Structure 1
Amino acid sequence: MQEANKTRVSKVAFAFIMASFFMLLFLSSTFFLTSKRNIPNTEKDQYDTALRGNIITSDHFIIASSKQIYRAEVDLRSLDKGKLELFLKLFEIYSGSSKAQMQDIKKRLELAFKKNAYNFILSQNLDSKHASYLKELSKKLYVQGFFKAFANNNNKVETRGLSISLHKEDRNYMSKDTLTPVIGYTRAFFDEESKMLKNIGVKGLEKYYDECLLPFQNEKVQGLKDIGGNIILDLNSVQKRKINGCDLYTNLHLKLQKTIEKAIDQRNADLNASEIIVGVMQSNTGKILALASSRRYDPSNRGKDLSVLNASAVEYAYETGSVIKPFIFTTALRLNKLQLNEQINTHNGYYKLGRFTIQDDHKAKSMSAEEVLVYSSNIGMIQIAKRLSNFEIVSGLKIFRFGEKSGIDLPYEQKGELPNPSRLRDIEKSVLSYGYGLKTTFMQLLAAYNVFNNDGVYITPSLANAFYQNGKKVDLSAEFGKEKILSSTAAKQIQNILIATTEKGTGRKALTEGIIIGGKTGTARIAQKGGYSTTRYNASFFGFANDAKNAYTIGVLVRTPTKPYSYYAAQSALPMFKDVVDILIQEDFLEPIKP
């Protein structure tokens, strides 16, 4: 009996010891499995870089866009020289490289082998399609053991082979030099986050809307990877989707712009001017449908002449000549210092002003107030200016926004210059009345003339109307203001006088059957050291062209034409204005009114 009890106790003790052993084993295993160990990382990060946004015309053409450019490189230590020809042949097929490009690669390879270099760039101008082909090729070659292992500088054995990486964001301009310098251009900069070259706006729309066009958010996917190295998307994975820069929608009409640019080039082949600028503005909205220049460039291949890159329509301020007269005239009307039916003494076309004698082309003893504008009498304008105080004449110009930026969506816009009324002498006030002693820009004049064709309302010119980003469209019309600055009666009076100017005065060459045309010519000598040039002029014509439904304000500036006698606006700017009106009819923007 005692022996049986001893045996029972022994068995229980043995069972307890074994249970304790297995419990210890379980606990130690659990600790080992849950503790940090030096095991391969099962997580993977995957990135996709967002791109700069597109710029789009009103006729639905993408005129500026971006694409990803990839680089292909190979570690020469992983290449078996006996397989080099096969590797190069495969690379040629998958990359779409030309024979000339492959010849260049082979020449550079010879030099690299001689110098014992190992990081060799095969190409750094691959599009996304060929980059994806090469990534597949790299995987296949790696799996098949095509690349050999080597000892790196740390004496660790590794295999590198062919690698494909994002190199830069390339900005493309589909229309080449069309719409320049308005569209502007970008320059490349190295982005630390994405480790690649990106673009930042420098001029034109690219600069003004740079913050909107810049990429907003890169794509990031993070999670566990499967045996093939692909990320497993589950509740624990992290995803940030790609948000490209905004798509910018403009008021510019590509076909109209190209047609006007062609007409400008044809006209300038005869005039040989330093620049011709043309603007077409929808009068009731302020939308710029075309803003063309003869000084254009390819944004992707800019030349050495940096002045060509400037948008002269807003960056070049000049003395205007007679196109300023309607604004002085309007000021006198508005202040009841002038009546349309009164006679103005024009001194038979000759008038002594200081040591100079002013001559009118249309000589008369006197003219009606309307005729002073119709026949562009400098002498008549001097008499009208005398009725205004210095403060009144300068304040009258400020009402039309001269001396301040028009507010158009272009960078580096100039304000121009107005004289200080407290320092304005009588002779300076006299020459101010016909366009000397102040400076304005093309865009200031275009916006100011628009008031006469828009019921007295000043409206800020605009190149863009909306942008689209992240599934949301934002209207930009609220960014461009409107203000009634002139009574409807006064605006109509000046509009009628400008129509009379084209019917029987200095603007007759602009007449187009079935279209309501009005406007004013201006010819001004260019200031130089010691006075004014006798050979260099700016010639301009600003006005409007309307049919039964549509109204457009149009400006033309011809800078320093060199053809003999072409410095007269009637010989240069006016025919160019007529070309533009004909184009507007041809492209169905205007429809001649039937008798």
Structure 2
Amino acid sequence: MGARWRVAVVSGVFGLSALILVGRAVQIQISEQGFYLQQGGDRQQRVQVIPAHRGMITDRNGDPLAISVPVDAVWVNPTEITKYYQQLRTDPNPKSKKDPDPIKTLAAFLEIPRSVLQAQIDSNRSKQFIYVRRQLRPSVAQQIRAAKLPGVGLQREYQRFYPTGDVSAPLVGFTNIDDHGQAGLEASYNQYLSGKAGQRLILKDAYGHEIDDLGVISPAQPGNDLALSIDRRLQYLTYSELAKGVVETQAEYGSAVLMNVATGEVLAMASVPSFNPNNRATMTPALTRNRAIVDQFEPGSSMKPFTILAALESGRWQPQSTVNTSPGWVRVGGFTIRDHRNYGVLDLRGILEKSSNVGASHIAEDIGNKALWTEFHDFGFGQDAGVGFPGEVSGRMENWRDWSVSGTAAHSYGYGLSVTTLQLATAYAALANHGRYIHPTLLRRSQPAHAVQVASAKDADTVVSLLQAVVSPEGTAPKARIPGFHIAGKTGTSRMIGPDGKYSTDKYNTVFAGIAPASDPRLVLVVVVTDPQKGSYYAGDVAAPIFQHIMAGALRMLNIRPDDLPNEPAQLTAQQTTRLIPMSLTKRTEGG
């Protein structure tokens, strides 16, 4: 009997326990279902994105050109806000009537009508997340955070800031509101600059408020910093002087590239007009163009040094070789090519000094189109410069087999082909670097640049020496002279092609490409000014003075030793600084 009694008691206990568990399960599933559903909804685990910090863009010295600063975005959960107002209306507790009105309060913080915010929420009633305002001012974000509004939250994000503003905007580019590169180097190096977002697990209540941090799943990985070859001081100088020159001549636009001869690094690259990347209202497609890389033009007489170099490289010409340019014009293939006047017999220095189209044409006829094309091609013309910039163009230069007799002559003085400002600067840098071509770069170089010998050092140095005549009082660009320095350079004034495909009679590109110091080249600067409307349109009067202001400042900033102190006068004479060099206007030909 005792054993049976104990078995009955134990069985009864187990049976009673089972009945209690079943009853409780029924109670939870049926009578208390709503309560537990609400509790489950009130506390939810969510995976929250941890935004990654975008890498900085700096100049070669580490000064920032683009940085990301932490800001907040405000968002709402329309589902939760709708639920909140429903509960508020049905709650019999009078105290709840004093709870905040999240829509009214948030609208006041954002300084927008309540009706606008209400309409935005109503139209997204079924969603659990919508942005209301991105990149809030810190003061506004703090007010919203302190208010603890139901269904309203803040999310950390980053806003791109550009300390140099319009000075380097076409080069650096800009990002969109999500901090993704949209133009310029921001776009071409977007993947390198972008970080990898992280994740963390959080617990939120029914109103979307974070009530507990459950830990980081994966940390955010910041983006890489990008060091450019640009020197911010030289960039400011180049942009300001170019902008001043464009305004003074009432030109349509301008571009300039300053390069380190020995490394191929671009120390400054400016485009005018520009835009302020910190104010999106100033952005238009025309203003955001980096004209130094994406615009091409016929370089005019700035190509003549490479024609002279091709002559020397052929072995058929020496610096003292002469050309009879009389009577100041020549007929080639049905076209008349003219100089400003009859210069008579000129040696190679004289052809550059006077910018003789006739002399250049005679040389091209003698050495042939293949030799001329080869020289141009070896110096990078008609080829992509390879700096990886969005929209970079390679210029245009047809194969020599397609050149007519008149086309060969035209190429000798810079017509029939098109180049970019960067291409022209790179070619002049190779000329100044004793005939060694270095691919240009917009990034700071930490290793010695690879150079390719594309012309003999002797011939390249000879051309640089001959180009000093261009900035003499008898040359086409005395306004490019810099006291204390030997300067080598060349002007180029070319007619622009109109919409009808014909050469304009009143629109010109003006170019000056210069090397300093000429006795030991360190810097190359190319200035291009398009369609000047005020005063002279010749490059010696438009582009050369801008070159002088920029290069003089750059030589001073970089502490480059003067190479012409004993013989250089203290300042230019009034005649030298005001002299105009007139040139002939003929169909598809312009001197210097």
Same-fold status (TM-score > 0.5): yes
Q: Which amino acid aligns with 1:440?
A: V
Displacement, 1:77? Answer: 5.8
Aligned residues: 530
Q: Choose which of 171, 174, 184 in structure 1 pairs with 2:173.
A: 184
Per-residue deviation, residues 96-153 of structure 1 (Å, max 9, x unmatched): x5xxx54x35565798999998999875543567646644542xx7xxxxxxxxxxxx
Tell me, in whole angstroms, the C-alpha distance in 2 between the residues paired with 1:513 and 1:275: 28
Q: Give the 3-state SS of the residue equivalent to 1:263 in structure 2.
A: helix
Tell me, in whole angstroms, the C-alpha distance in 1 between the residues paired with 2:139 and 2:539: 54
Displacement, 1:402? Answer: 0.8
Q: Choose which of 487, 494, 500 in structure 1 pairs with 2:469.
A: 500
| 8 Å Cα contact 1:252-1:463 kept in structure 2 | yes
Q: Which amino acid aligns with 2:502?
A: G
Tell me, in whole angstroms, the C-alpha distance in 1 between the residues paired with 2:537 and 2:248: 12
Q: Choose which of 79, 84, 89 in structure 2 pairs with 1:78.
A: 84
Displacement, 1:501? Answer: 2.6
Q: Label 1:447 to 1:86 Cα distance change in 2 as closer, same or farther (>3 A).
A: same
Matches within 5 A, 1:301-320: 301-303=280-282, 305-320=284-299
Displacement, 1:513? Answer: 1.9
Q: Which amino acid aligns with 1:262?
A: S
Residue aligning to 1:56: 58
Residue aligning to 1:543: 514
Tell me, in whole angstroms, the C-alpha distance in 2 between the residues paired with 1:400 and 1:406: 10
Residue aligning to 2:552: 582
Residue aligning to 1:174: 163
Please tell me the root mean square deviation across aligned C-alpha atoms, in Å: 4.1
Percent identity between the two aligned chains: 26
Residue aligning to 2:261: 283
Q: Label 1:278 to 1:91 Cα distance change in 2 as closer, same or farther (>3 A).
A: same
| 8 Å Cα contact 1:71-1:167 kept in structure 2 | no
Q: Label 1:256 to 1:42 Cα distance change in 2 as closer, same or farther (>3 A).
A: same
Displacement, 1:261? Answer: 2.0
Q: Give the 3-state SS of the residue equivalent to 2:280 in structure 1.
A: coil
Residue aligning to 1:375: 354
Q: Choose which of 300, 303, 321 in structure 2 pairs with 1:321.
A: 300
Tell me, in whole angstroms, the C-alpha distance in 1 between the residues paired with 2:314 and 2:123: 85
Q: Give the 3-state SS of the residue equivalent to 1:440 in structure 2.
A: coil
| 8 Å Cα contact 1:547-1:591 kept in structure 2 | no
Q: Give the 3-state SS of the residue equivalent to 1:273 in structure 2.
A: coil
| 8 Å Cα contact 1:77-1:118 kept in structure 2 | no
Q: Choose which of 416, 425, 428 in structure 1 pairs with 2:404.
A: 425
Matches within 5 A, 1:395-434: 395-434=374-413
Q: Which amino acid aligns with 2:254?
A: I
Residue aligning to 2:228: 250
Residue aligning to 1:193: none
Tell me, in whole angstroms, the C-alpha distance in 2 between the residues paired with 1:224 and 1:28: 35
Is residue 2:164 matched to residue 1:164? no
Matches within 5 A, 1:195-594: 198-215=178-195, 217-222=196-201, 229-232=211-214, 239-299=217-277, 300-303=279-282, 305-361=284-340, 363-465=342-444, 482-503=451-472, 505-528=475-498, 529=500, 531-546=502-517, 551-564=522-535, 566-593=536-563, 594=565
Displacement, 1:445? Answer: 0.6
Residue aligning to 2:574: none
Residue aligning to 1:34: none
Tell me, in whole angstroms, the C-alpha distance in 1 between the residues paired with 2:13 and 2:538: 109
Q: Give the 3-state SS of the residue equivalent to 2:367 in structure 1.
A: coil
Q: Give the 3-state SS of the residue equivalent to 1:47 in structure 2.
A: strand
Q: Label 1:88 to 1:532 Cα distance change in 2 as closer, same or farther (>3 A).
A: closer
Tell me, in whole angstroms, the C-alpha distance in 1 between the residues paired with 2:540 and 2:413: 16
Name the structure where strand makes up a greater proportion of residues. 1
Tell me, in whole angstroms, the C-alpha distance in 1 between the residues paired with 2:493 and 2:464: 21
Tell me, in whole angstroms, the C-alpha distance in 2 between the residues paired with 1:389 and 1:111: 75
- Extract unaligned runs of 5+ from structure 1: 1-9, 32-36, 142-160, 189-197, 467-474
Per-residue deviation, residues 401-421 of structure 1 (Å, max 9, x unmatched): 111111123111111111332
User: 345-354 or 535-544: which moved more?
Assistant: 345-354
Tell me, in whole angstroms, the C-alpha distance in 1 between the residues paired with 2:517 and 2:247: 29
Tell me, in whole angstroms, the C-alpha distance in 1 between the residues paired with 2:342 and 2:356: 8
Q: Which amino acid aligns with 1:52?
A: R
Tell me, in whole angstroms, the C-alpha distance in 2 between the residues paired with 1:199 and 1:212: 13
Residue aligning to 1:69: 72
Displacement, 1:174? Answer: 3.1
| 8 Å Cα contact 1:251-1:462 kept in structure 2 | yes
TM-score by length of 1: 0.77
Q: Which amino acid aligns with 2:471?
A: T
Residue aligning to 1:126: 136
Displacement, 1:51? Answer: 3.8
Q: Label 1:313 to 1:122 Cα distance change in 2 as closer, same or farther (>3 A).
A: closer
Displacement, 1:366? Answer: 0.9
Displacement, 1:266? Answer: 2.1
Q: Give the 3-state SS of the residue equivalent to 1:516 in structure 2.
A: coil
Per-residue deviation, residues 281-325 of structure 1 (Å, max 9, x unmatched): 111111111111222012342557422222211211211110111
Displacement, 1:391? Answer: 2.0
Tell me, in whole angstroms, the C-alpha distance in 1 between the residues paired with 2:294 and 2:199: 42
- Extract unaligned runs of 5+ from structure 2: 23-28, 30-35, 90-96, 567-592
Q: Label 1:568 to 1:224 Cα distance change in 2 as closer, same or farther (>3 A).
A: closer
Tell me, in whole angstroms, the C-alpha distance in 1 between the residues paired with 2:403 and 2:241: 42
| 8 Å Cα contact 1:362-1:377 kept in structure 2 | no
Tell me, in whole angstroms, the C-alpha distance in 1 between the residues paired with 2:122 and 2:379: 72
Tell me, in whole angstroms, the C-alpha distance in 2 between the residues paired with 1:106 and 1:178: 40
Tell me, in whole angstroms, the C-alpha distance in 2 between the residues paired with 1:274 and 1:117: 51
| 8 Å Cα contact 2:61-2:231 kept in structure 1 | yes
Displacement, 1:385? Answer: 0.6
Displacement, 1:25? Answer: 9.8
Displacement, 1:29? Answer: 12
Residue aligning to 1:152: none
Residue aligning to 2:585: none
Per-residue deviation, residues 189-228 of structure 1 (Å, max 9, x unmatched): xxxxxxxxx243332111211221233x2111348999x9
Tell me, in whole angstroms, the C-alpha distance in 1 between the residues paired with 2:494 and 2:514: 17
Q: Which amino acid aligns with 1:437?
A: G
Q: Give the 3-state SS of the residue equivalent to 1:464 in structure 2.
A: coil
Displacement, 1:519? Answer: 0.8
Q: Give the 3-state SS of the residue equivalent to 2:537 in structure 1.
A: coil
Q: Which amino acid aligns with 1:293?
A: S
TM-score by length of 2: 0.78
Q: Label 1:291 to 1:345 Cα distance change in 2 as closer, same or farther (>3 A).
A: same
Tell me, in whole angstroms, the C-alpha distance in 2 between the residues paired with 1:550 and 1:304: 38
Q: Choose which of 41, 44, 47 in structure 2 pairs with 1:45.
A: 47
